A and B are shown apart, each in its own frame.
Chain A
Amino acid sequence: MSEGAGMMQISMTLNGKEVSADVDPGERLLDTLRYALGLTGTKEGCGEGECGACSVLMDGVPVNSCLVPSYQARGRVIETVEHVQESDVEPLLSSGATQCGACTPGIVVTAQWVRRHPELLETHTLRELMAGNLCRCTGYDGVIEGVEATLTVDGQSS
């Protein structure tokens, strides 16, 4: 239990800022974000990569932060729901895309990724792109309509 045991210091670019954290090798990115760095917008749903509630962007692409060991975030660019401009997701509020709210942060994060990559819609449907974000309240139509509406919001944030 010598080499590789104990806490590890990692640095990453988090929501545009360089941050460092001491992480246990058994810590998930989800835990580091919520409990070490205080970013509680990211939610734990199933904890096994099924529901997408804990979605964050890693190097610009959605990942389940419950399935990323924190040590794999070293040197990477991470964006959480806290980094999304409110105006970018305003249409989700008016389309019935949210109800209990547990899935919402993950949906907002995935929607932000789709907004930045309109070319994805040439090969994928919005439903396929959003398929990793489960919602037990809305029945999905509201979610898809809301995300669709966010695609045309002006002033895309970076």
Chain B
Amino acid sequence: MRVLTPTNVEEAVAMLAVEEDLIPMAGGTDLLVHWPEHLEARERGYLDLSGVESLRGMEWSDAFLTLGALTTYWEVVTDARVGREFRLMVEAARQVGAIQIQSRGTWAGNIANGSPAADGVPVLMAYGAEVELASAGGGARWVAMDSYYTDYKQSVKRPDELITRVRVPRAEYEIEVWEKVGSRRAQAISKVGLAITKGDEGWRVVAASMAPTIRRCAAIEKLLTKEAAINRPEDLLKAIGKDVSPIDDLRSTAAYRELTMARVVYHALKGRVSFVT
């Protein structure tokens, strides 16, 4: 195994430009899980970002909350201002593993890992977040989270690009929901995850563990936008069928996931909007 230890972003992206199969590492929680048993994980080269100080910390501007790529879940959990403005980020972060994972796991790492069951990604997507991809020679572009993933663990990020920042637009929301259905409250990976927001830009409904990637649910958003009467969870199943394609796996079944997603959406909105009764 090899590790490179850049001290600034310029060095880091220069290293990636030369050697595109380096694996960038922030807190390492998703990567070290594989070290004891997967020999191929030991033969890879890693790009350790922990010495890149400029990737630490959060910044507020008039328009955005910006997270450096090394920002951990725990930093968000303990930040009262994030709790006031982006309540779902704190709620989701508190359900990632427990303190030992929250203290090391990062929002950017959660995005990069690309798990369809990620807990951080759905709320970022529901808040309209964007991710900054930097590359050698000073290149950088912002990509909206909801167009970031292309397939299971695949994204628009090129191998020579590094996630450097995540920014969340500051906005008012009338509805904010995060629900995670897992086997237990802590230390569990979601069977179904749902983030829902409604603000000036309309509804955003984001599902986790329901498709090869975390994704916006266009058909449900359309139903909600036209205020179609929803009188029971089953009224959502047709839209859910269009939006997602869950599978049977070790954590749950496709049928359970679809019905649970319908129930979670229904009960989260019942009584809070006039057309869900």
Whether A associates with B in a native complex is yes
Taking Cβ atoms with an 8 Å cutoff, the residues of A that contact B are 1, 3-5, 8, 24-26, 28, 47-50, 52, 55, 58, 61-64, 66-69, 71-72, 74, 110, 113, 128-129, 131-134
Given contacts A67-B29, A69-B32, A69-B48, contact A58 B103 (CB under 8 A): yes
In the bound complex, do residue B32 and residue A68 qualify as a contact, i.e. CB atoms below 8 Å apart?
A: yes
A110 vs B100: C-alpha distance when bound (angstroms): 9
Task: Select one of A4, A28, A67, A68 contacting B45, CB under 8 A.
Answer: A4
- Cβ contacts under 8 Å, A24 to chain B: 1
In the bound complex, do residue A28 and residue B2 qualify as a contact, i.e. CB atoms below 8 Å apart?
A: no
Task: Select one of A3, A48, A62, A71 contacting B99, CB under 8 A.
Answer: A62
A134 vs B97: C-alpha distance when bound (angstroms): 12
* Least CB separation from B45: chain A residue: A4
* B38 → chain A closest CB, angstroms: 11
Taking Cβ atoms with an 8 Å cutoff, the residues of B that contact A are 1-5, 25, 28-29, 32-33, 35-36, 42, 45-46, 48, 50-51, 74, 94, 97-101, 103-104, 185-187
Task: Select one of B2, B50, B74 contacting A72, CB under 8 A.
Answer: B50
- Cβ contacts under 8 Å, B104 to chain A: 58, 63-64, 67-68
- Cβ contacts under 8 Å, B32 to chain A: 28, 49, 66-69
Given contacts A5-B2, A128-B94, contact A61 B74 (CB under 8 A): yes
Given contacts A4-B2, A67-B104, A131-B185, contact A72 B97 (CB under 8 A): no
* B25 → chain A closest CB, angstroms: 7
Task: Select one of B5, B97, B100 contacting A55, CB under 8 A.
Answer: B100
In the bound complex, do residue A132 and residue B2 qualify as a contact, i.e. CB atoms below 8 Å apart?
A: no
A8 vs B2: C-alpha distance when bound (angstroms): 10
A26 vs B31: C-alpha distance when bound (angstroms): 11
In the bound complex, do residue B187 and residue A131 qualify as a contact, i.e. CB atoms below 8 Å apart?
A: yes
A158 vs B241: C-alpha distance when bound (angstroms): 56
In the bound complex, do residue B28 and residue A69 qualify as a contact, i.e. CB atoms below 8 Å apart?
A: yes
- Cβ contacts under 8 Å, B185 to chain A: 128, 131
- Cβ contacts under 8 Å, B74 to chain A: 61
